Chains A and B, each alone.
Chain A
């Protein structure tokens, strides 16, 4: 049986709604682990309240944060998936339906950058990235809404044949500039290489990787551990009021490119909004996060 418009519409709304109400299990586990290692009492208490907020939102089925951000989706279509749907139209429809029906209602955060007018809808909303996955017969959708709080501190710079030291220094400096601002402890996504446009996507996709999952590339795994330790040594701490936990993790990926090497860095605030579903042709929807 093919995957239909109704299935995409349902998944689009449900993913956004879930991402606003439930902090992913891996993020909660990382916050709990940080409570064991924190040496600042203020920081430990702040981590405790972050976990309490996550728990209350789940129990009350309410939002963790009042800023629901803008809708951002990543779609992977399996090469063996059978589709009978207008994918783009259904995602738009799913988002429109969500805005009309979600309880509690969303605030108006979608902003026209030219006029600064705000509403629920706007040009190119939702923001969707499409990709393919070989050999599977499902469609996977991830929703990772983004707001100003952590979104505004992302950065990208172009280097020419940089050393690893130059790359890591840049990443550290981006973390210093963001400082206390992005609702730490954050998850940092880093992309290295490819092209300007591709590199930003690499960084963003690294924030969708589960926290605590070891990078299979030993060079990148060492880099992630090194950067995590370095940035946590800066002292900004949970909510930027001091402590040893500024990042829950740093996730790095790279792509080959030319001698010009973009390096992109982005942040997810501590609630790590991310919801995922796999949709099969028989109507099954497997939700995770």
Chain B
């Protein structure tokens, strides 16, 4: 048995997003945005309310929950030394508004998003891609060029990095563009299995002889 792999170019089309299924592996080439900041997500929501302009045109883009050590050299050139996913569920309260507000076609990080986010993804044709936590060497190798750093006054991993990536991955489809979620599914299944697992543990305890 093999896993289905997709080589995708960004920005992701509606059709390409719809073709992705849970558990598929994806490699991305094109432009992404990356930030790991909770204050950044608060600020993005305020941008949507008109408080200030967005640092970049992010419509139809891919915004990922990735923390990075980014640097601007004296000659103005930008670089990322290392990059890695952060826990996406920290942004559960932001994503249902950011997905439609920015028209996101892809989001991701690690650990998934909740059911309200999955609904927003289904309504907007957006996918959630799981990055390898502790995968800094692999993920950083997918960076071709850093093309912008938004909100540089924030600490490094809170800034919004605009990055050109080449075969960034492997990323796992965790929530598809129809709103099906591995996270919801495994969470529900674990609760369904709980009683039988507890029974099996009881039987093992009862038969234990030291």
Name 24 interchain pairs, CB-CB below 8 A, sorted by A.
A42-B3, A45-B170, A46-B132, A56-B138, A65-B133, A65-B135, A66-B84, A67-B67, A105-B69, A107-B155, A172-B194, A172-B198, A172-B201, A179-B183, A181-B87, A218-B210, A219-B210, A230-B200, A234-B190, A239-B172, A240-B182, A240-B183, A241-B130, A270-B133
Which residue of A164, A169, A222, A237 contacts B198 across the interface (Cβ within 8 Å)?
A169
A242: chain B residues within 8 A (beta carbon):
23, 182, 185-186
Seen from chain A, the residues whose Cβ lies within 8 Å of a Cβ on chain B are: 40-42, 45-46, 49-50, 52-54, 56-57, 60, 62-67, 104-105, 107-108, 118, 148-149, 152, 164-165, 168-169, 172-173, 176, 179-183, 218-219, 222, 226-227, 229-230, 233-237, 239-242, 269-271
Question: What's the least CB distance linking B129 to chain A, in Å?
Answer: 10
User: Which chain B residues (78-108) contact chain A, with CB distance < 8 Å?
Assistant: 81-84, 86-87, 89
A105: chain B residues within 8 A (beta carbon):
69, 81
Bound CA span A63–B89, Å: 24
The answer to whether B86 and A149 touch across the interface, beta carbons within 8 angstroms, is yes
Question: What's the least CB distance linking A83 to chain B, in Å?
Answer: 36
The answer to whether A222 and B208 touch across the interface, beta carbons within 8 angstroms, is yes
Which residue of A41, A107, A226, A241 contacts B205 across the interface (Cβ within 8 Å)?
A226
Given contacts A46-B132, A66-B136, A165-B201, 15 further A-B contacts (CB under 8 A): A42-B23, A42-B25, A53-B132, A64-B136, A107-B67, A148-B86, A148-B87, A179-B190, A180-B183, A219-B210, A230-B201, A233-B197, A237-B186, A240-B111, A240-B186
Given known contacts A45-B3, A241-B130, is B138 in contact with A52 (CB within 8 Å)?
Answer: yes
B162: chain A residues within 8 A (beta carbon):
none
The answer to whether A64 and B183 touch across the interface, beta carbons within 8 angstroms, is no
A56: chain B residues within 8 A (beta carbon):
137-138, 141
Seen from chain B, the residues whose Cβ lies within 8 Å of a Cβ on chain A are: 1-3, 23, 25, 67-69, 81-84, 86-87, 89, 110-112, 130, 132-138, 140-141, 155-157, 170, 172, 174, 182-183, 185-187, 189-191, 193-194, 197-198, 200-202, 204-205, 208, 210
Bound CA span A218–B208, Å: 10
Given known contacts A168-B201, A240-B186, A241-B174, is B112 in contact with A65 (CB within 8 Å)?
Answer: no
Which residue of B68, B82, B110 contacts A62 across the interface (Cβ within 8 Å)?
B82
A65: chain B residues within 8 A (beta carbon):
84, 133-136
Which residue of B87, B141, B189 contacts A149 across the interface (Cβ within 8 Å)?
B87
Residue of A nearest to B90 (CB): A148
Among A148, A165, A173, A239, the most chain B Cβ lie within 10 Å of the Cβ of A239
Residue of A nearest to B83 (CB): A66
Question: What's the least CB distance linking B108 to chain A, in Å?
Answer: 11
Bound CA span A75–B182, Å: 41
The answer to whether B133 and A239 touch across the interface, beta carbons within 8 angstroms, is yes
B140: chain A residues within 8 A (beta carbon):
62
Bound CA span A65–B84, Å: 6
Residue of A nearest to B189 (CB): A235
Residue of B nearest to A148 (CB): B87
Given known contacts A62-B82, A63-B136, A66-B84, is B197 in contact with A180 (CB within 8 Å)?
Answer: no
The answer to whether A180 and B69 touch across the interface, beta carbons within 8 angstroms, is no
B68: chain A residues within 8 A (beta carbon):
66
Bound CA span A118–B37, Å: 12
> Lowest 5 CB-CB distances: which A-B pairs, in order?
A66-B84, A56-B137, A183-B133, A234-B190, A42-B23
Question: What's the least CB distance linking A49 to chain B, in Å?
Answer: 5
A182: chain B residues within 8 A (beta carbon):
111
Residue of B nearest to A45 (CB): B3
Bound CA span A218–B186, Å: 32
Bound CA span A234–B3, Å: 22
A181: chain B residues within 8 A (beta carbon):
87, 89, 111
Given known contacts A183-B110, A226-B204, A230-B200, is B172 in contact with A42 (CB within 8 Å)?
Answer: yes
Which residue of B83, B137, B201 contacts A226 across the interface (Cβ within 8 Å)?
B201
Which residue of A60, A108, A176 contacts B156 across the interface (Cβ within 8 Å)?
A108
The answer to whether A235 and B198 touch across the interface, beta carbons within 8 angstroms, is no
Question: What's the least CB distance linking B155 to chain A, in Å?
Answer: 5
Question: What's the least CB distance linking B151 to chain A, in Å?
Answer: 15
